[in-house]
């Protein structure tokens, strides 16, 4: 699998692409899609080979998520977040727990999701013998209802300390609200989760957010920003690929163009050329950002605030560019495919709806501000839940 992960990702993408528009209209919980990811072997890319995984690594996981997102933005989002949740368990000083989780991911084909929206701090932990109980509700939790294991953040009611822990997604007291009904990303199962006296064993607690090593733990926030950027790129690449195929095979040349095919129309050629060039540029910038975060992660306890800050700025730069790009691409391609392509059967609108929904995750203007502040003053973004 180490050398074949890209082929596996392409096979998954081809399967998803075949009926993407139909599945998106149905908007069912993505259980079949997660089963496809399990069968593909892609879930173990980040697990070392000596623990049974493919050992393909961080950059491979980023690329795999982008490939899948090009075929189905929702499933690429789910896969990217799976990688993020498994990856972030390594940001805490719990090597024995991490090994147990990685081996379980291989042996049981666990799919991971998270319950840790930074703006939603309603989960409370109460100490009990042998661990804690957790109560409360999170209003958005992408993939949680179809996951096997969760990474959850909650606040201790007695001390106010924030802890992160892992949890069986089917543990007693966990209920899923099934209330995701948004414009796009319809197959991400991003509804709410409620916890009622759910037991959290002490041995499943990863750690706190104010302990030694908190700088390394703060990489999780920019990891999320990077993976969202990868999904944006995948959506843009998918929209271009499907629009191009339609243009080659179905689009009629305009009556006044003087050419025999749409692929000979100079305006269509130039239009695609602009979008393709911008998409490739955004991809190159995002690859740089992924490498910077990977290097920051590999630095381990030697990670410095400067290295962390440079990675954050690189990711913010990529996200600014990719956000503008995907919203432009997913609207502009309609000008190249023509009026007949607006038929619901083609589903070209899903690319725009997915892009418009996902790029509102957090305001991109704040990312541009981070880049501008670094450029003018040398300041790095302050670590927060989003930076």
Q: Give the CB-side neighbour count of residue 102, counting CA atoms within 13 A.
A: 22
Output the CA angle 70-246-323, nearest 5 degrees.
35
* Amino acid 208: pLDDT: 84
Question: Which of 76, 111, 146 marks a domain boundary?
Answer: 111
* Amino acid 230: pLDDT: 98
* Amino acid 3: pLDDT: 60
Domain for residue 39, yes or no? yes
Question: pLDDT of 275-322, one tens digit each?
Answer: 999 999 999 999 999 999 999 999 999 999 999 999 999 999 999 999
How far apart, in whole angstroms, are the C-alpha atoms of residue 242 and residue 287? 23
Q: What is the DSSP string of 299-336?
A: TGGG--HHHHHHHHHHHHHHHHHHHHHHHHHHHHHHHH
| Count of beta carbons in the 10 Å neighbourhood of residue 293 | 24
Domain for residue 387, yes or no? no
Domain of 200, CATH number, reads: 2.40.110.10
In the chain, DSSP finds a helix count (H) and a strand count (E) of 12, 8
- In this structure, the answer to whether residues 312 and 354 fall within a common structural domain is yes
| Count of beta carbons in the 10 Å neighbourhood of residue 300 | 10
Query: Is residue 209 classed as helix, strand or coil in its secondary structure?
Result: coil
- In this structure, the answer to whether residues 158 and 293 fall within a common structural domain is no
Contacts of 226 (CB under 8 A, 6+ apart): 62, 286, 289, 290, 293, 315, 318, 319
List the one residue out of 164, 40, 143, 39 whose CA is nearest residue 101.
Answer: 164
Question: How confident is the model over 21-47, as a mean pLDDT?
Answer: 97
Domain of 77, CATH number, reads: 1.10.540.10
Q: How many domains does the chain have?
A: 3
Q: What global pTM score does this model have?
A: 0.96
| Residue 156 region by backbone torsions, left for phi larger than 0, else alpha for psi between -120 and 50, else beta | beta
- Residues 56-89, buried b or exposed e (16+ Cβ, 10 A)? bebebbbbbbbbbbbbbbbbbbbbbbbbbbbbbb
- In this structure, the answer to whether residues 173 and 144 fall within a common structural domain is yes
Domain for residue 185, yes or no? yes
With contact defined as beta carbons under 8 Å apart, do 58 and 45 qualify? no
- In this structure, the answer to whether residues 296 and 313 fall within a common structural domain is yes
- In this structure, the answer to whether residues 38 and 153 fall within a common structural domain is no
* Amino acid 119: pLDDT: 73
Q: What is the DSSP string of 42-63?
A: GGGTTS-GGGTS----HHHHHH
- Residues 159-171, buried b or exposed e (16+ Cβ, 10 A)? eeebbbbbbebee
- In this structure, the answer to whether residues 104 and 20 fall within a common structural domain is yes
Domain for residue 311, yes or no? yes
Domain for residue 383, yes or no? no
- In this structure, the answer to whether residues 370 and 229 fall within a common structural domain is yes
Q: Can you give the residue range of the structural domain that contains 252? A: 214-377
Residue 291: exposure state from Cβ atoms within 10 A (0-12, 13-18, ≥19):
middle
Question: Which of 166, 193, 208 marks a domain boundary?
Answer: 208
Domain for residue 386, yes or no? no
Question: pLDDT of 323-364, one tens digit each?
Answer: 999 999 999 999 999 999 999 999 999 999 999 999 999 999
- In this structure, the answer to whether residues 97 and 121 fall within a common structural domain is no
- In this structure, the answer to whether residues 170 and 78 fall within a common structural domain is no
* Mean pLDDT, the chain, whole residue set: 95
- In this structure, the answer to whether residues 234 and 321 fall within a common structural domain is yes
User: Which helix (H) or strand (E) segment is 176 a member of?
Assistant: strand 174-176
Whole-number percent of the chain with pLDDT over 90: 93
* pLDDT greater than 90 at residue 86: yes
Question: Which of 173, 208, 243 marks a domain boundary?
Answer: 208
Domain for residue 148, yes or no? yes
List the one residue out of 110, 121, 117, 130 whose CA is nearest residue 170.
Answer: 110
Confidence of residue 210 (pLDDT cuts 50, 70, 90): low
* Amino acid 214: pLDDT: 86
Question: pLDDT of 185-207, one tens digit each?
Answer: 999 999 999 999 999 999 999 99
Domain for residue 382, yes or no? no
Question: pLDDT of 116-161, one tens digit each?
Answer: 877 767 899 999 999 999 999 999 999 999 999 999 999 999 999 9
- Per-residue tokens: 28: 């069912």
Tokens 């991490």, residue located: 98
- In this structure, the answer to whether residues 50 and 179 fall within a common structural domain is no
- In this structure, the answer to whether residues 230 and 345 fall within a common structural domain is yes
Domain of 347, CATH number, reads: 1.20.140.10
């Amino acid at each position: 699998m180490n050398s074949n992960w890209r082929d596996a990702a392409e096979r998954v993408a081809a399967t998803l692409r075949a009926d993407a528009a139909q599945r998106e209209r149905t908007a069912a919980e993505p259980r079949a899609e997660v089963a496809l990811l399990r069968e593909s072997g892609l879930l173990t890319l980040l697990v070392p080979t000596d623990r049974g995984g493919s050992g393909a690594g961080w950059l491979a996981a980023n690329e795999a998520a982008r490939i899948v997102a090009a075929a189905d933005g929702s499933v690429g989002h789910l896969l990217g977040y799976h990688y993020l949740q498994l990856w972030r368990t390594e940001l805490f000083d719990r090597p024995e727990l991490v090994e147990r989780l990685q081996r379980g991911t291989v042996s049981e084909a666990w799919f991971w999701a998270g319950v840790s929206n930074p703006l939603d701090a309603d989960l409370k932990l109460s100490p009990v013998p042998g661990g804690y109980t957790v109560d409360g509700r999170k209003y958005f939790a992408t993939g949680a209802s179809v996951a096997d294991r969760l990474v959850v953040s909650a606040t201790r009611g007695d001390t106010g300390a924030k802890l992160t822990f892992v949890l069986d997604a089917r543990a007693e007291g966990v209920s899923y609200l099934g209330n995701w009904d948004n414009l796009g990303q319809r197959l991400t199962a991003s509804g709410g989760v409620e916890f009622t006296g759910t037991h959290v064993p002490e041995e499943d607690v990863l750690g706190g957010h104010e302990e030694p090593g908190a700088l390394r733990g703060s990489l999780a926030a920019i990891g999320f920003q990077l993976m969202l950027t990868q999904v944006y790129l995948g959506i843009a690449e998918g929209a271009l690929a499907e629009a191009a195929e339609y243009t080659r095979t179905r689009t009629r040349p305009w009556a006044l163009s003087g050419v025999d095919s749409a692929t000979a129309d100079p305006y269509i050629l130039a239009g695609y050329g602009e979008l393709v060039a911008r998409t490739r540029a955004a991809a190159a910038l995002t690859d740089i950002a992924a490498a910077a975060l990977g290097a920051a992660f590999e630095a381990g306890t030697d990670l410095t605030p400067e290295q962390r800050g440079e990675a954050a700025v690189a990711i913010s730069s990529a996200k600014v560019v990719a956000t503008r790009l995907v919203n432009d691409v997913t609207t502009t391609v309609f000008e190249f495919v023509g009026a007949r392509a607006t038929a619901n059967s083609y589903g070209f609108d899903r690319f725009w709806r997915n892009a418009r929904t996902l790029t509102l995750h957090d305001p991109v203007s704040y990312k541009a501000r981070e880049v501008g502040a670094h450029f003018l003053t040398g300041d790095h973004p302050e670590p927060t839940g989003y930076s």
